[in-house]
Amino acid sequence: MATPHNEAKMGDYAETVLLPGDPLRAKYIADNFLEDVVQVNGVRGALGFTGTYKGHRISVQGSGMGIPSMSIYINELVREYGVKTIMRVGSFGGMAPDLQLGDVVLASGGSTDSSVVANTFGPGIYYSTVPDFKLLDIAYHTAKELDIPITVGNIFAADRFYNDEIDMQKLSDYGILGTEMEVAGLYLLGAKLKIQTLDILTCSDHIFRGDALSAAERQTSFANMMHVALETAIKNEAH
């Protein structure tokens, strides 16, 4: 059933969807990591594709930037298209001192300054947003088997990209590994909609050191993240 944001028909999406923010990254994933690919959505340029990886049916859908945009696609993927597992694959700005560019990170928790969590539960409740442990466990051990360096920890989802008011150093002092704009919303919706969710990220730049990956380095490190995500997807199906 089509929605205002998606022209796909029921059954066009696999039960497992990879969710990059950038629609063009969704196309890149489909073109370079999946076989027998069919484009299932193009509304508003939010490209969605379904293909196979090692014989397993997997979809990829661009979700835009930030929790509000991502929430539209997650709600519709689950409610209208029957998706059961969503793994975000994206980049983030590192803050931990020992984090290196290109490192793959699994978000074991999502902190945020977004009001989405507070508005869900009301005053006095500080809900912790966490991933599906089965997915997290599979992804961690998959990275180890692939000999891909992996870090696990808390990621901060910023409500604004340009935000001089946030004390990033204090967040780092309290163990936050880095910042992006989606993880807390992803995990909140995972709990609400009773689906599996996991945020798998690549460190593309470091906030305090000021260094960043080149285009070629991004491609190499992005491939590491994708191998972890795709292998996790098929192992999760087998369990």
- The residues carrying an active-site annotation are 205
3-state SS string over 67-108? HHHHHHHHHHHHHHHCCCEEEEEEEEEECCCCCCCCCEEEEE
Q: Which residues does residue 197 pair with via DSSP β-bridges, in sequence order?
A: 86
DSSP state of 223: H
The answer to whether 224 and 139 are in contact (CB under 8 A) is no
Task: Characterise 210 by phi-psi region: left (phi > 0), alpha (psi -120 to 50), beta (else).
Answer: left
Q: Strand 16-19 and strand 35-41: pairing?
A: unpaired
Strands (E), the chain: 16-19, 35-41, 48-53, 56-61, 85-94, 104-112, 150-157, 176-180, 196-206
Q: What is the per-residue DSSP string for 200-216?
A: EEEEEEETTT--B--HH
The one-letter amino acid code at 177 reads L
Task: Report the candidate in 76, 85, 69, 86 with the shortest Cα–Cα distance to residue 23.
Answer: 69
How many CA atoms within 13 Å lie on the side-chain side of 89?
A: 28
